[in-house]
Structures are given as structure tokens and as C-alpha cells.
Structure 1
Amino acid sequence: MRQGCNGMFIALELAAGHLDAAPGRRVALLVSADNYGTPLMDRWRMGPGYIGGDAAGALVLSKDGGFARLMSVCTTTVAEAEELHRGSEPLFPPGVTVGRRMSFAARNEQFRQQVMPRGEATAALFNIQRALMEIVERVLDESGIEARDLTRVAFMNYSEEIVEQRCMALLDLPMSRSTWDYGRTIGHCGASDQVLSLDHLLMTGQLGPGDHLLMLGTGPGVTVSGAVIRIIETPQWV
């Protein structure tokens, strides 16, 4: 999908629509993977508030039932913040093809120095947070629940401060309902963060029948995505 850290959300949304469009379509396999073991990237200094972890994840979306139900998934775009992750680099040719190192920390700094003086950055950053709020309201409304009904919240594997300020404070929920305590042990694993958190919560018995998990994420573009999953039964493989 090439949607960066929100790749799994985009795949979920496309797969759900694809399966719903025709009766004969029954199952979709979604896979994500990221590996930062390249000289063109420093996993320890990737960006402000996080380090990079290598991982892969997979989900099977089926119309024939399963241990959980996808209640809602949606995405929105904050196009005015596109330079936040690109910095001043040209769109073409891709940096990797010319041996250019990739650092989101450097790109964020370029955004701060070159865009913020124009008075546009503050509005763009505000719009990202507003989009996150809108996504939360939409997925909760479509799921028929409120924030207080959420058992756990899986955000991106960022620092404690970022997870609390950008996500949990927005929901008015304590950090104990986040997955930060697990995420800090593996780092930001690209598009796999929320899938890995779901698996961890199931394997450790922190999610059970009747529980709701809210997954939230942002990606270059800037895209903002969310999904709610309701646990129907304990998986046989747990």
C-alpha cells in the first residue's frame, strides 16, 4: 500500500470494502513488514520520541466469523502537513535511489525551520490533532460505544510523553489503558505497531470476550487512521 506507518489501517479499510462489494469474496490476508537495518537509516535517531524496531504482522479478515469483529475503520488526510515527514527533499528521484540517508528527525527540523516561519506549521500541526479527534469520534460512533467503554488503546510505539499527550489525554483515559508499557520494549515497528499490540494483549490475557480495542495511528501524507475491534471469544491459539 506504501502508506507508511498507517499501511495496515489502509489495508483494513480497502479489504473491508473489497469483501463487502461481492458475496463471493470471503477472506483477505493483510501483511505488513518493516526493517530498518540499512546504512541509510539510524534506527536509534529515526525521529523525535521513538526508535525503530524491525517486525512483521498479519491479519486475516473474513466474512465467515472469527475471534473478533472489526466494528469500524476509517482514515482522513491532513495534506497541509505533508512536508512534516518529507522536509525539503524533492519527491523525485526517491532518496534511496541516490543513496540519501533518511531521517525523520532531520525532516521535522527542516519543517520547523522552513515552514514554521511562514506561519503555516502551527495550523498544520493543529489540524493533525483535530483530525485525530475526528477519527476517534467517528470510529466510536460507528461502533456504538464511548471512550470510557474502551478496554485498551493501541497507539504508535512512541515515548510515554507522546502517547499520553497525543492520544490518551485526548480520550481522557489513563496510561494504564494504553499499550505504551509493551511498545517501549520493542520500539516503533512501522505499520505493525497496533497489530503487535493486539497480539500481545490477547496472548497475555489483557483482552477477552466483550472487550473493545481502539487502534490509532498517523503516517506520512499526513494520514490519520483509527479502528475499533471487539473481542468475541478467546482465540484457540491463545
Structure 2
Amino acid sequence: MTRPMGDVFLAGIAGILPPAVPVEEALAAGAWTRREAAETQQLSVTVAPPEQHSPDLAVEAARLALQRAQRSPAQISLALHSMMLSPGGRLWHGAAYVHRQLGVPTGRCITTDLDCGCDSSLVAFELASAYLRGRDESELALVTAADCWRAPEVDRWRSSTCPFGDGAAAAVLSRQGGFARIAGISSLSDPELEPVGRGLEPFTRDHENPAGPVYLRSRGSEIVDAERIWPTVTRDVQQVVAAAAEQAGVAVSDLDHVVCPFLGHDLTKQEFLDPLSLDFSAIPWDFSRRVGHLGPADPLAGLDHLVNVERVSWRYALLLAYGVGGIFTAVVLESTRA
């Protein structure tokens, strides 16, 4: 059922990426296998130097997004940050750091982190859109996401089925216009998929404080009903995209570009492209295979690349993500410059 969206716009978008390191270096060091390289078709991943940390990358992305939006940090009334690893340690959140580093004055601004895995940025879009519709038109929402995938928390090359890249992205949402209107947005949570990111081990101190890196692929392989996972993911992707497209009044065939998580060739095809009957020409594939999986920043960084680097022409674009725990979000954007 179609419901009115209201006028919320994407006023600014920015991505900040460290230099890329060719996968050949990891292969030569024995950190990765040629079979995995062939399955992902990854060419390189972005790697931040040791002295660079994800919250500072997020601040840099936020400043650039605000500059492109021609808006002031003082207008921010909602700051939502996403990160899967916390360089500040436990019981610390990045949103307040980003907020402070931008020089936002004390006031009625909600600052908080979101923990929806790779879907966090798009969940932030849905929350921010609803929030702004109840606020003064001059107020802004800031969405940031950043991670640097370092040991001992993760193994950049082996923790998942695709290698991780370091980087950050930011978006500024406004009711006063921007380069794109949020024409449709939908989220779907599927509890059946919750164990995929947890595995089947009981809650124990050792499980909470692993001695080595987290291996998401091992957790997923523990699920006894794995044969049901992919049909479930396919159904959920189709449903959440259909709902967002219906709100926007478009069909999947009307979409000029699609940006989904950067998961390498085989997983991207299975998880997102096949369910929507799309091929790699629909996504910024060459960009993603040179960056790696950034985590929650993927959709925003991909859109930034299309809009501000390649400067593609488009009327409708889809941002799509699936987060650990079983949450999916689809956002249909309509260009205001078309």
C-alpha cells in the first residue's frame, strides 16, 4: 500500500577513502587465497595508515557533505553514526565525537550510534526522514558511517567471504531541497536470519571476548538450516525493494543505478542482483572491486562515486542493504536535476 513520503531531500553526499592496496600483496603474503580472489574478483582494497582512525574519517566525510550541501553544522538536529568496530573501546560511541569535532553548538540535537550492521546507514535514512518531517524545515539530519578493519578484531581478508576496505561516508538530509528527493523508503526485519551473524554457540565469556579475530563466515556455516537462508534472503530483498518502489511509483526497470553492499562478485550476484533480475552493469561494480566491503558506508560511498566522481546522468537510483541480524532497507532516490 502506497503511503505519502513528504518532502525529504538528500542535500549532500561524500565519501572519504584511504589509498587502495592491490590484492596481489595479500596473495603474495599468504593472507588470502587465489580461489577467494577469483570468487570475489576483487582487485584492491582501501587501507588506512595506522595513525588514521575511523571517527576522524567520518568527520572528514561529514565536513565535505555539509560543504557540498551548502549547509551549516549548526543546523544539525539529528546525528546518526554507524561503525562496526569501535576504536574508542567499549562504552563509547562515535556520533558524539563526530558531533563535537564538527563544532556543533550545544542544543537540541540527538546524537547516537546505530548498530544494524551493513544496513545501518539506510536505517538511519528512514529514521532521519521520519524525524525531519516533525521538525522545523531549517533543521538537518547528518548520517555518517566509517570503519577501519584492523586486527585483532577482524582479519581484513578472511573474516568474511569478501575482503574489507577502510573508509567513511556521510549524507546530509534536509526538508529544504537537495540534489535528490527520497521518493520511496522501506525496511524489513526478518528474525529467521538473526542466527546467521551469531552462530550457534551459547552466550559465554569466551564468545563475548574472542581471543582472535571474528570470523563471520564460520558463524554462518554453523546454521543447521543453511539451505533455507538464500531463498529467505531472496524473498526479503524482493519484498523490501518492491515496497520502496511502490512508494516511489516506479518499477525496478525504471532504476538507472543501484548501489548495494560491496561483497565481491559471487555474493553480490547471489544476494542482490539475481533476486532483482539485474546484472553488474546496474551497480558501480568497477568501483566496488577496487575498494572492498566498507560496511555501513557502502551505499553512501557508492552513491558519492556515481554522483560526484563519475557524474552519471540519472533520474532514479536505488540504495539497498542487508544488515547482520536480518534487516533490509531499500531507498529510491529521484534526482532533482533530471
Alignment TM-score, normalising by the size of structure 2: 0.62
Structure whose residues are more often helix by fraction: 1
Equivalent residues in 2 for 1:1-238, closer than 5 Å? 1-23=114-136, 26-48=139-161, 50-91=162-203, 95=207, 97=209, 99-111=211-223, 115-116=224-225, 121-208=226-313, 210-233=314-337
Q: Deviations over 1:195-236 (max 9, x none)?
A: 11101101234533x5211111111111111111122139xx
CA distance in 1, matches of 2:238, 2:202: 31
Report deviation, 1:185. 0.6
Identity %: 28
Cα distance per residue 1:47-106 (max 9 Å; x no partner): 12x111111111000001011111122211111121111112445659564545311111
Structure 1 residue 164: deviation in Å? Answer: 2.4
Structure 1 residue 166 displacement after superposition: 2.6
Give the Cα separation in 1 of the matches to 2:315 and 2:205.
46
Gaps of 5+ in 2: 1-113
Q: 2:97 maps to what in 1? A: none
What is the RMSD of the two structures over their aligned residues, measured on CA atoms? Answer: 2.1
C-alpha contact 2:259 2:320 (8 A) present in aligned 1: yes
Larger Rg: 2
The structure-2 alpha-carbon separation of the partners of 1:39 and 1:165, relative to structure 1 and needing over 3 Å to count, comes to same
Distance 1:124 1:41 in 2: 24
Count of residue correspondences: 225
Aligned 8 A contact 2:137 2:176 in 1: no
Gaps of 5+ in 1: none
Q: In structure 2, what residue type is equivalent to 1:46?
A: S
Distance 1:219 1:194 in 2: 12
Please tell me the residue identity of whatever aligns with 2:265: E
What is the CA–CA distance in structure 2 between the aligned matches of 1:77 and 1:83, rounded to whole Å? 13
| Secondary structure of the structure 2 residue equivalent to 1:191 | coil
- Asked if 2 retains the 8 angstrom alpha-carbon contact of 1:163 and 1:180, the reply is no
